[in-house]
Chain A
Amino acid sequence: MNIFKISSKNLIRNKLTTVLNIILVAFGIGILSILFLATNQIGNKLEKNAKDIDLVVGAKGSPLQLILSSVYHIDYPTGNIPAKDAYKLMQNPMVKRAVPLALGDNYNGYRIVGTDSTFSNLYGLSIQMGNFWHKDLEVTLGSTIALTSKLKIGDSFFGAHGLTGNGDIHKQHAYLVKGILKPQGNITDNLILTNIGSVYKMHEEKHKEGYSHTSAEEAKEINDKQITALLIQYKSPMSVILFPRMVNQSTNMQAASPAMESARLFSLIGVGIDTLQWFAMFIMGIAALSIFISLYNAMKERKYDLAIMRCLGASKSKLFFLVMFEGVLVTFIGACLGLLIGHSALEVIGAYQESSQAKLTGFTAVPQEIYLIWIGLFIGTLASLIPAMQIYKVDIAETLTKDR
């Protein structure tokens, strides 16, 4: 028998009110925790995947689309650029490292990326098993793909045309798995890497089709071939201003900066996040009001209980604490439940997500979530403050001589 037991017994006695209040708090906290976790994870992913990429050069079109397709591998490419022009840019003195990309095929929804060894340098890739790709039609798998597709070294598979779906399979050539990458925690876990020549070979008979596919083995061959995009790392930060302008003005290609485009993307999503945040705050406000009203109303009946406890020797401050504790207990349970709801909801969302590139998970926590518990406790304190103050006004002698 202690204050905790008295409070919880009283809460159990008023089951419906207690459950309502807990649910209100839990929903508010739940929504906030989903927002925290999702923005945190998306932000992290965006940042991680674009870490060392200063600029992307691709076909003219939406710069955001260019970034999404060639850095995050989410959207479709804007088109193709002539390999000749791209290789000219790669020779520019401001460029420290340039990675050519040729997109266009997939295997079970995982993108097959034609590139060269600079790609593995850019992302700092290392091999878990086997080797990097060397010849045409050899591939190295990202770790996630190796896990989900059950492909092993020495296995071969057919790629399908397009970036999603298995509709149009390239039956004439099979890829051979040469190696599997170590888990990197970024987009490369979900990519199948090969050389540009393979992508070109796949499409030899289908030159006229929409996506870009090119070979880059020999300079002569390159001349009228195309690639999808170029990931560029600058030699010095000075180039941030000069290089994009040069690309946009003097060539038929466009340059887009991942940092700027993801900032723009975030400001677009930001409106939705803000709205949800206000909505969650609103629910929390309702929860506080509901707790306040139920405690305040209960005080009419509880006056007797509290007067008896005073008679039995409890001090006013002890009873003040008792009433406060009840409100805080409800919001604390609600806050914990809310975090649970938030995490499991995000895990469920992640499980149903189609794009494997930006999967969300509920099995991580962010430090801000501690604040959510504090917010819950604060709301509980706020809502029970006025009801608890009633303790100081109750006239015990008078209360107890009156009938219930």
Chain B
Amino acid sequence: MIKISSLAHVYEKGRRLKFPCWEIADMEQWLLLGASGSGKSTLLNIISGLLEPSQGEVLINGTDLYTLPARGRDRFRGRHIGIIFQRPHLIRSLDVIDNLELAAVMAGLPIDHKRNHSLLHDLGIAELAKNYPDELSQGQLQRVSVARALVNKPDLLIADEPTSSLDDGNANQVIRMLTTQAKDNGAALIIATHDRRVQEYITKTYLLNEHL
């Protein structure tokens, strides 16, 4: 379903990153491991269509991401890929439910109110729907950003260091939530991390080595 091959990226400063081939089947859950600076974030950005690689291709459901025009790529990302960032970036001027609706609007999809509410319910934050991001705790914000990533029923869920700023209890909860939600929503899952706590839950690993 997702396939990257002969992928390499050269930064302006001359640093060159090469990525081994990788194939992810439907609903598989993977860990992306590597020391900091090994190019984890670069690879995630390439897979999610935010950063054009110098060389190689990314196939998602048979679509070559980088043959699409920029506009088409934005739209493809909105509809097929859900991204969870290290810090839960929400729009501060909008309340929780509006932040979820925004995901559909930006991807050009109709708003599914029922699904939005059931997502919030599944993640245990149904009562926060009308709250603004400033009023939520870190853990609650992280849940909202997971819900937002799932709004458009993505085929692929990408999480970049979702646990790095959380304590043990919260970290375990977030990992459990991510794995079960990905499964329930029929999405493949990639978690980029160097956090050992995550490795208890996911066995498949893709290791980036700086010296490849």
Q: Shortest CB–CB separation between residue A309 and chain B, in angstroms?
A: 5
Question: 0/1 per residue, B73-84, Cβ < 8 Å to A?
Answer: 011111100010
Q: Number of contacting residues on A, CB 8 A?
A: 28
Instruction: List A contacts of B90 (CB < 8 A).
Output: 308
Tell me which of A2, A9, A400 contacts B89 (CB under 8 A).
Answer: A400
Contact with A along B84-97 (1 / 0, CB 8 A): 01110111111000
Main secondary structure on chain A at its contact with chain B? helix
Interface residues in B89-112 by Cβ distance below 8 A to A read 89-94, 98, 101-108, 111
CA distance A6 to B50 in the complex (A): 23
Q: Is A268 an interface residue (CB 8 A)?
A: no
CB A402 to nearest CB in B, in angstroms, measures 9
24-67 of chain B: CB within 8 A of chain A: 41, 45, 48, 50-51
Chain B residues with CB under 8 Å of A315's CB are: 70-71, 74-75
Contact check, B41 vs A311: say whether CB atoms are below 8 A apart. Answer: no
**B45 / chain A contacts, CB cutoff of 8 Å:** 397
Rounded to whole Å, the gap between the CB of B109 and the closest CB of chain A is 9
> What is the minimal beta-carbon distance from B105 to any residue of chain A, in angstroms?
5
**Bound CA–CA A304/B98 (angstroms):** 17
Does B79 contact A313, Cβ atoms closer than 8 Å? yes
**In the bound complex, what is the Cα–Cα distance between A9 and B71 (angstroms)?**
26
- Give complex CA distance A314, B79 in Å: 11
Tell me if A333 is interfacial: C-beta within 8 Å of chain B.
no
Q: Which of B86, B93, B107, B148 has the most CB of A within 10 A?
A: B93
Q: Which residues of B contact A2 (CB under 8 A)?
A: 105
> Across the interface, do B94 and A313 meet the contact criterion of CB distance under 8 Å?
no
Partner of B78, one of A1, A6, A313, A396: A313
Q: Which residues in B have their C-beta under 8 angstroms from that of A238?
A: none
| Contact of B94 with A310 in the complex, beta carbons under 8 Å | no
A126 at the interface (CB under 8 A from B): no
- A404 touching B75, Cβ below 8 Å: no
CA A312 to CA B103, docked complex, whole Å: 6
Q: Tell me whether B98 and A9 are in contact (CB under 8 A).
A: yes
Complexed CA–CA distance, A310 and B51 (Å) = 12
Given the complex, which residues of B lie within 8 Å of A314, measured CB to CB?
A: 74, 78, 106-107
Closest to B92 in A: A13
Whether B70 pairs with A316 at a CB distance below 8 angstroms is yes
A305 contacts B by Cβ under 8 Å: yes
Quick one: given A13-B93, A397-B45, A401-B41, are A313 and B87 in contact (CB under 8 Å)? no
A118 close to B (CB within 8 Å): no
- B94 contacts A311, CB within 8 Å? no
The residues of A that contact B70 with a CB separation of less than 8 Å are: 315-316
Interface residues on B, range: 35 or more
Chain B residue nearest to A9 (CB atoms) is B93
Contact of A312 among B78, B93, B94 (CB under 8 A): B78
Measured between beta carbons, the chain B residues less than 8 angstroms from A209 are none
Tell me which residues across on chain A come within 8 A of B107, comparing CB atoms.
Answer: 312-314
- Closest Cβ of chain B: how far from A35's Cβ, in Å? 37
Q: Which residues of A contact B160 (CB under 8 A)?
A: 401
- Would you call B50 and A311 a contact (CB within 8 A)? yes
**CB-CB under 8 A for A1 and B50, given A13-B92, A401-B41:** no
Q: Which residues of B contact A6 (CB under 8 A)?
A: 91, 93-94, 102
A400 touches B71 (CB 8 A): no
Closest chain-B Cβ to A135's Cβ sits at a distance in Å of 78
- In the bound complex, do residue B41 and residue A308 qualify as a contact, i.e. CB atoms below 8 Å apart? no
Q: A396-B50, A400-B85, A401-B41 are in contact. Are A313 and B92 (CB under 8 A)?
A: no
A317 within 8 A of partner (CB): yes
A304→B91 CA distance, assembly (Å): 8
Cβ contact within 8 Å between A313 and B93 = no
Whether A313 pairs with B98 at a CB distance below 8 angstroms is no
CA distance A399 to B103 in the complex (A): 19
Task: List B contacts of A305 (CB < 8 A).
Answer: 89, 91-93
Nearest Cβ on chain A to B153's Cβ, whole angstroms: 13
B50 touches A12 (CB 8 A): no
CA distance A314 to B70 in the complex (A): 11
- Whether the pair B77, A311 counts as a contact (CB closer than 8 A) is yes
B-side contacts of A311, CB under 8 Å: 48, 50, 77, 83
A370 to chain B, nearest CB (A): 33
**Quick check: A9 and B77 within 8 Å, CB to CB?**
no
Q: Once the chains are docked, how many angstroms separate the CA of A318 from the CA of B83?
A: 20
Binary contact readout A287-328 vs B (1 if CB under 8 angstroms, 0 otherwise): 000000000000000001101111111111110000000000
Tell me whether A308 and B93 are in contact (CB under 8 A).
Answer: no
A270 to B62, CA, bound (A): 72
Distance (Å) between the CB of A13 and the closest chain B CB? Answer: 4
In the complex, A74 Cα to B79 Cα: how many Å? 73
CA gap between A307 and B48 in the complex, in Å: 13
**Is A10 an interface residue, CB under 8 A from the partner?**
yes
- Residue pairs across A and B with Cβ atoms less than 8 A apart, 9 shown, are A1-B111, A6-B93, A9-B94, A312-B102, A312-B106, A313-B75, A315-B74, A397-B51, A401-B41
Closest 10 CB pairs of A and B: A313-B78, A313-B107, A312-B106, A13-B93, A1-B101, A314-B106, A397-B45, A9-B93, A315-B71, A10-B93
For the complex with contacts A1-B104, A315-B74, A401-B86, 16 further pairs of A-B residues with Cβ separation under 8 Å are A1-B98, A6-B94, A9-B94, A305-B89, A307-B89, A308-B91, A312-B102, A313-B75, A313-B76, A313-B78, A313-B103, A313-B108, A315-B75, A316-B70, A397-B41, A403-B87
